[in-house]
Amino acid sequence: MRSLSSTRFAIFGAALIAISYGLARFAFGLFVPQIRTALDLSPYVIGIIGALPLISFLFATAIAPLATDYLGARYAAVLSGAFGVGGLGLISQAPNAWLLGAGVFACGICTGLMMPALTAAMQALVKRSMHGRVSSVMNAGTSIGVIVAVPTVLFLADAWRLAYLSFTVLAVLGVIGAWFILPSVARIVPANAAPPAPLRELPWSRLCRLTLFAYVMGFVSSAYWIFAPDLVANLGKLSPATTGWLWLAVGVAGLGGAVVADLADRNNPPITQALMLMMLAASLALLAASPSQPLLATFSALVFGLAYMSLTGLYLMTGIRLLPGRLSVGPVLPFMAVSLGQATGSPVVGGLVNAFGYADAFAMFAALGILVSILSPFYPGAIAQSDDEEAEEEAREETGLQAAYDSQLQNSEGEPLEDPAADEAKTPTAHS
C-alpha cells in the first residue's frame, strides 16, 4: 500500500466516487433515449429499471458498515468496484430489459459500498481536522463522473454500448487502484471517544424530519435524473447529442453544491432548504415548459445540479450532527432516504409519463417540490438563537462540514474530541 497525503487521498477518492456514483449510477439517465429506442422500452419500464439501482443502493448501504468492518477498506472498495465492473459490462451487452435491469442493479451495489469503504480509509489515513475538506473533494466526484460521461454522448451519440464499455474499463482501473492504494483496515474509533447515546436518547423528531425532507427531495429529483434527456429528445425533438449538454451543466453546477451547503449551515439551513428545493422544482417546470429550447433546457440543468448537490451536502451535515458517535450511520442516513425517494419516484414518474405525457408528469413533480419547500421551517437545521451575541457568533463559527466532523466524536463530557488525542489513540484493526 502506498502512503498518501490528504490531498492525494482526496483526489483518488474523488476518482472512485466519479466511477461508482457518476458513471455507474447517475449516467444512466443520459443514455435513456438511446437505450429506449434500441431495446424498445416504454417509459414505465424505464422507470422500473431506473428504480433498481436505488433499491440495491439501499441494500448495499445497509450492510456496508458490517462489510467494511469485516473486510476492511481495501477489500470493501475492491468488492464495490467488482460490482461496478460487472454491472457496467452487463449494461453494455444487454439485449433486453431483464439483463439491463440486472446490470443497473449491480451498479447500485457498487455505489452503496464505495463511500463507506472510502470513509473507513479516510479515518485511517487522514487527520480529523481535514475530514471536512477531504470529504468535500470526494463528494465532488459525483459531479466529475457526470461530466466525464458527457463526451461519450457528444461524440458517440448512438453508441451507448461502446460508451458503457468504456465506463467498464475505467471501473477496472478503479479496482486496480483500490487494491494497491487503500489500506486494509477496518473503521477506527479513538480509544478515548465516548460511546454513542442510547437509542432512546436520540433526537427522533429531528431525525424523522430530516429523513422526510431527504425522501421528498429524492422523490422529486428522480424525474430529472431518469427522464430529463428522454423528455428533451422526445418532447423537444432535440438530438441525443444535445442531451449531453444537460448532464455537463448538471455536473458543472454540482461542483458548487458543497460551497452552497457549507454557507447554508453557517446561515439559516431551513431557508436554504426551502430555496434549493424550490429551485429544484423550478428546474423540472422549466425543462417541461421549454424542451425544444437548448439554452433554456441547459439553464434548467444548471439550476438542478446546483440545487441537488447543495441539498445532499446540507443533509449530510445535518445527519452527522444529529448522530454523534455513530460513524457508520450519521453520514449515510440522509443518502438512504434520498435513494428511497428516488426508488419510489422513478416508477411513479414513468407511469405518469405513460398516462399524461412528459410535460404534465414533470409539472406534477415540480408542484410537489414547491409544496414541500413551503414546509421547510420544520427542517431540523436552524441555528439556536441566543441573547448573548458572543455565544451566537461562536455557534455560527461551529458550522459547516468540518465542524460537523469535529463534533462527530465526543469525550465523556459531551465535548468534541480533541484531534491530537484522537490521533495518538487510534488503533486500526488490520486485515490480512
Q: What is the pLDDT of residues 36-62, one digit of tens each?
A: 889 999 888 999 998 999 899 999 988
Residue 415 pLDDT > 70: no
Q: How many whole angstroms separate alpha carbon 204 and alpha carbon 191?
A: 27
Phi/psi at 108 (nearest 5 deg)? -65, -40
Q: How many whole angstroms separate alpha carbon 293 and alpha carbon 236?
A: 8
Residue 284 pLDDT > 90: yes
**Which amino acid would we find at residue 264?**
A
Average pLDDT over residues 280-304: 92
* pTM (two decimals): 0.83
Cα angle 282-284-289, degrees, rounded to a multiple of 5: 95
Are 54 and 347 in contact by the 8 Å Cβ rule? The answer is no
pLDDT in tens, 224-274: 998 998 898 888 887 777 778 888 899 888 888 767 766 766 667 888 899
| Dihedral sign computed on CA atoms, order 376, 381, 387, 390 | negative
pLDDT at residue 197, rounded to an integer:
61
Phi/psi at 416 (nearest 5 deg)? -55, 135
Rounded to the nearest integer, the mean pLDDT of the chain is 82
pLDDT at residue 384, rounded to an integer:
44
Q: Which residues contact 127 (CB under 8 A, 6 or more apart)?
A: 6, 419, 423
**Which amino acid would we find at residue 321?**
R
Confidence band of 408 (pLDDT split at 50, 70, 90): low
Residue 113 pLDDT > 80: yes
Longest dimension (CA), the chain: 66
pLDDT at residue 395, rounded to an integer:
45
The three grid cell numbers given for residue 320, joined into one nine-digit string: 452527522
Q: How many whole angstroms separate alpha carbon 290 and alpha carbon 301?
A: 12
pLDDT in tens, 157-175: 668 899 899 999 999 999 9
Residue 193 pLDDT > 70: no
The three grid cell numbers given for residue 351, joined into one nine-digit string: 407511469
Closest to 3 measured CA to CA, from 176, 121, 113: 121
Q: What is the 3-state secondary structure (H, E, C) of the chain?
A: CCCCCHHHHHHHHHHHHHHHHHHHHHCHHHHHHHHHHHHCCCHHHHHHHHHHHHHHHHHHHHHHHHHHHHHCHHHHHHHHHHHHHHHHHHHHHCCCHHHHHHHHHHHHHHHHHHHHHHHHHHHHHCCHHHHHHHHHHHHCHHHHHHHHHHHHHHHCCCCHHHHHHHHHHHHHHHHHHHHHHCCCECCCCCCCCCCCCCHHHCCHHHHHHHHHHHHHHHHHHHHHHHHHHHHHHHCCCCCHHHHHHHHHHHHHHHCCHHHHHHHHHHCCHHHHHHHHHHHHHHHHHHHHHCCCCHHHHHHHHHHHHHHHHHHHHHHHHHHHHHCCCCCCCCCCHHHHHHHHHHHHHHHHHHHHHHHHCHHHHHHHHHHHHHHHHCCHHHCCCCCCCCCCHHHHHHHHHCCCHHHHHHCCCECCCCCECCHHHHHHHCCCCECC
Answer with the residue of higher pLDDT: 186 or 70.
Answer: 70
Confidence band of 414 (pLDDT split at 50, 70, 90): low
84: exposed, middle or buried (Cβ count in 10 Å: 0-12, 13-18, 19+): buried
User: Hey, what CATH topology would domain 1-188 get?
Assistant: Growth Hormone; Chain: A; (1.20.1250)
pLDDT in tens, 116-148: 888 888 877 888 778 777 888 888 888 888 888
Phi/psi at 267 (nearest 5 deg)? -115, -95
pLDDT at residue 394, rounded to an integer:
46
Are 137 and 401 in contact by the 8 Å Cβ rule? The answer is no
Phi-psi group of 325: left, alpha or beta (phi > 0 → left; psi -120 to 50 → alpha; rest → beta): left
Are 257 and 310 in contact by the 8 Å Cβ rule? The answer is yes
Q: How many whole angstroms separate alpha carbon 160 and alpha carbon 39?
A: 12
Domains 1-188 and 199-407 share a fold: yes
pLDDT at residue 388, rounded to an integer:
43
Q: What is the CATH number of domain 199-407?
A: 1.20.1250.20
Residue 410 pLDDT > 70: no
Q: How many whole angstroms separate alpha carbon 357 and alpha carbon 340?
A: 24
pLDDT at residue 218, rounded to an integer:
95
Average pLDDT over residues 213-219: 96
Please state the domain extents for the chain. Answer: 1-188, 199-407
Q: How many whole angstroms separate alpha carbon 102 and alpha carbon 108?
A: 10
267: exposed, middle or buried (Cβ count in 10 Å: 0-12, 13-18, 19+): exposed
**Which amino acid would we find at residue 421?**
A
Answer with the residue of higher pLDDT: 186 or 146.
Answer: 146
Are 322 and 380 in contact by the 8 Å Cβ rule? The answer is yes
Cα angle 345-351-355, degrees, rounded to a multiple of 5: 140
Answer with the residue of higher pLDDT: 45 or 398.
Answer: 45
How many other C-beta atoms can be found within 10 angstroms of the C-beta atom of residue 399? 20
